[in-house]
Chains A and B, each alone.
Chain A
């Protein structure tokens, strides 16, 4: 079989998948496999780097090169791997704790550098592997093993942070919305630059139902908005709500109450809009934004510039190793 006509199944490794039955990570793995198929690289030119966590077991289940590394450092490791071989399609799979707590520094700087990585942060708002401690994305008052009386740390908004760093691709998915997560992984895989994909997942054991507000069959859709480039931002179980401008920001309104022309249209190239969308939260009266929130293909990735610079210095200085060694004050004995 030619490696170019791969299907999702071809990306499954023979290893038994050891996540708990019902874990949100299964759905995300499925979406990532779609992304890899779309990227069109043979399996031996794909590398997955992960940190430590339940989600970071991911590489073992994939029929690609895989590196299960250390807690929080996957972004830095993957940056080196990508620069070392830019022909590889490099994915990072990381948990919310792995990315935003111990790995916050590397996460920030990999985004800032715009290294050409496909970065999937699986956000279950809990430390799964270590059996249920709160994370920087846990909600206020959340009960966990280390917050038996409720979390009193304010949660962070990783995608808003990403926007602040000048991210070039920012998207959010949800385990239960399989098609959308697939779409995101496919676009992310094709994006030239750092693709920041946050995908919400349920942890059936330690944070079960953490995303119920978003996934509830009856009311969930009133709390999320799926944004699509060029389309009006309308949401709700019966598409009864929309986003309209409100001074410097946006507010939710009933479609019936506003003029059609006032309904905002999503523009994935608008960074200010992206910043607002990534900060929206249901408890702030706005739906959680899902979909491709921001995408900018014009900013050069770091790894491209590394080699452009090397070529430029070669053209300009073009020294050989012998010449370099013989530079400076030399004398012959």
Chain B
């Protein structure tokens, strides 16, 4: 045992993995996430995919990454600058070293620093030897050599042995972060062992050996002077699972269908970064979820509208360019007044833009991207786990108000992951009261009228095909209360106002926003959706430092929560950090006539806490 490796307690550690895409960065990242979570840490993570699936190996363009933050307290983002970079080859080191905290650790596989590999990324000399990484604590480990040694007695090609470097690395990290090794051993057994779904015994054995070699390496070499120890975070009791936002939304869709007593239905077309949602949801046939992969996004939403008209709980899932294609049909759901949930996992735009990178630039498209006066509620999920609740809530409002609802998530929370407290189905709200199909037996003596409304919610009476004696016609032309086509100016005025009022009314039943910090203060920082984590973390730190700053988060971005105007009026300055050119700021200015300052970032990358802190300090004149 390296006796000089002392155990230092830490509050949080940011780790970044980079390597060739196809090298399993997401896998190893997810493993460490699970390991940390199992050990009681709170974790938040963010994968970073290159846009080409297999860009040439060993090139900067082919570098795939995964960043995570683990801590002994609530963790809201995948962290700012990494404390530890695990860069598996020269391309990865060249790509990511600059992000590492000054004095931070860079772990790399020195065996991959061949002359050819160095040349490919334009290194003139070996950075491990030429001092260019001075200022970092570089751990150059000959991973291939060590793994091959550890697996010397196994009949396997060297290429297969080399692949075990990921578990070797896990061994090193397990030791470095003082984690319970049994958890990894169990994981290998579960995934490849005799009891797994598809046993691969040789791989199980090789990975186990590689992992143990990594552990021993940490323990016995003098390379590491320090190890980190993170305490357990204060986390609400319950069953947890690490989940991505896309997976959480898929689960919510199936769960909402079951809680509404309706068949859940997704009409969709694959598009990054929303595809994973459709992948996962496609597995849920055993809980009656119908997924139709259609010929394009228009067909995706159209078949969902058709399913909604027949009384299914219908969803369509997409990303920005797909939402653009869905506009006319979204308007159809709106004027037909049928429930529909549109899940939009935002990515960098315009047009094809940055398919694999995150952005929040579809807010105005969601708000105004349809012809006519066509308002619909918009809810924004604020973390991967929150995608479950946001999608479930959207389904409830869609049913209750007979309206399309847009759920905005983004590449960051859709693909990022964090621990999710798994609810039981029994705990989730019963949605059946909101379904409320119109049936003649519930209304003796009345004749059905398709656009007669509930006086409170303004939701229309809704009889689905198959309802005895209620056959009627509805369409996308303007109509009167009876559903009959009408071009009467007064009718159009009334119906337009009513459709808008229906959405405005929703604000009355939405929970008010809560202020993080003092109710009245110098600066109010407003987050929405994916900026929640960075803003929450930043505001918490600023408050700790005694700065006159408060924060709020908008979950429903339309309609605005009822108390928002009042809250805003109690602050001198308003700051809205957004991954766009100021879209929420524009809406807030228009609605409340206040001078909102916008902190905009469109780099395909979420905010870091320090960026928000720096901006606030600048506004405070500090």
Contact = CB atoms under 8 A, between A and B. Distances in A.
Pair from one complex: yes
Interface string B284-313: 111110101011101100111111111110
Interface in A33-56: 43-47, 49, 52
A330 B422 contact: yes
B465 A105 contact: no
A309 B465 CA distance: 25
Contact of A321 (B235, B287, B295, B302): B287
Contact of A105 (B187, B235, B265, B295): B295
A328 B250 CA distance: 14
Interface in B582-619: none
Nearest to A62: B473
Nearest to A71: B328
B446 to A, nearest CB: 16
A70 to B, nearest CB: 5
Given A76-B306, A332-B240, A317 B286 contact: yes
A48 B251 CA distance: 33
Contact of B302 (A73, A312, A329): A73
B425 A69 contact: no
A73 B242 contact: no
Contacts of A314: 285-286
Contacts of B294: 76, 79, 109
Contacts of B312: 80, 84-85
Interface string A49-93: 100100000011011111111100100111111111101100000
B484 to A, nearest CB: 8
Contact of A44 (B187, B290, B336, B467): B467
Given A324-B254, A333-B237, A68 B476 contact: yes
B255 interface: yes
Nearest to B465: A65
A313 interface: yes
Interface in B214-272: 235-243, 251, 254-255, 258, 263, 265, 267
Contacts of A84: 263, 265, 290, 306-312, 314
B303 A83 contact: yes
A44 B471 contact: yes
Given A59-B473, A322-B424, A45 B465 contact: yes
B477 interface: yes
B332 interface: yes
A325 interface: yes
A319 interface: yes
A132 to B, nearest CB: 21
Contacts of A271: none
Contacts of A333: 40, 235-238, 240
A306 interface: yes
A47 B465 contact: yes
Contacts of A59: 473, 475
Contact of A326 (B285, B422, B473): B422
Contact of A79 (B306, B336, B422): B306
Interface centre among A70, A317, A326, by most B CB within 10 Å? A70
A15 B34 CA distance: 63
B465 A76 contact: no
B23 to A, nearest CB: 21
Contact of A87 (B187, B466, B468): B466
Given A321-B425, A322-B425, A76 B284 contact: no
Contacts of A77: 302-303, 305-306, 309
B156 interface: no
Contacts of B308: 80, 84
Contacts of A149: none
Interface in B406-426: 422-425
A78 B302 CA distance: 8
Contacts of A322: 424-425
A139 B67 CA distance: 61
A322 B241 CA distance: 13
B415 to A, nearest CB: 16
A60 B485 CA distance: 9
Given A84-B263, A105-B295, A68 B474 contact: yes
Nearest to B288: A310
A69 B294 CA distance: 18
Contacts of B470: 44
A105 B296 contact: yes
Interface in B329-376: 329, 332, 336
A191 interface: no
B472 interface: yes
A331 interface: yes
Interface of A: 13, 15, 43-47, 49, 52, 59-60, 62-70, 73, 76-85, 87-88, 105-106, 108-109, 306, 309-310, 312-314, 316-322, 324-333
17 contacts: A15-B484, A43-B471, A65-B465, A67-B309, A68-B473, A70-B329, A73-B298, A76-B298, A79-B306, A80-B292, A83-B307, A84-B307, A312-B285, A325-B423, A329-B38, A332-B240, A333-B236
Given A80-B308, A310-B285, A330-B241, 9 more contacts: A68-B476, A69-B476, A70-B329, A81-B310, A83-B303, A109-B299, A310-B288, A317-B286, A324-B254
CB-based closest 9 A-B pairs? A68-B475, A80-B306, A80-B303, A84-B310, A66-B473, A81-B306, A76-B302, A313-B285, A84-B307
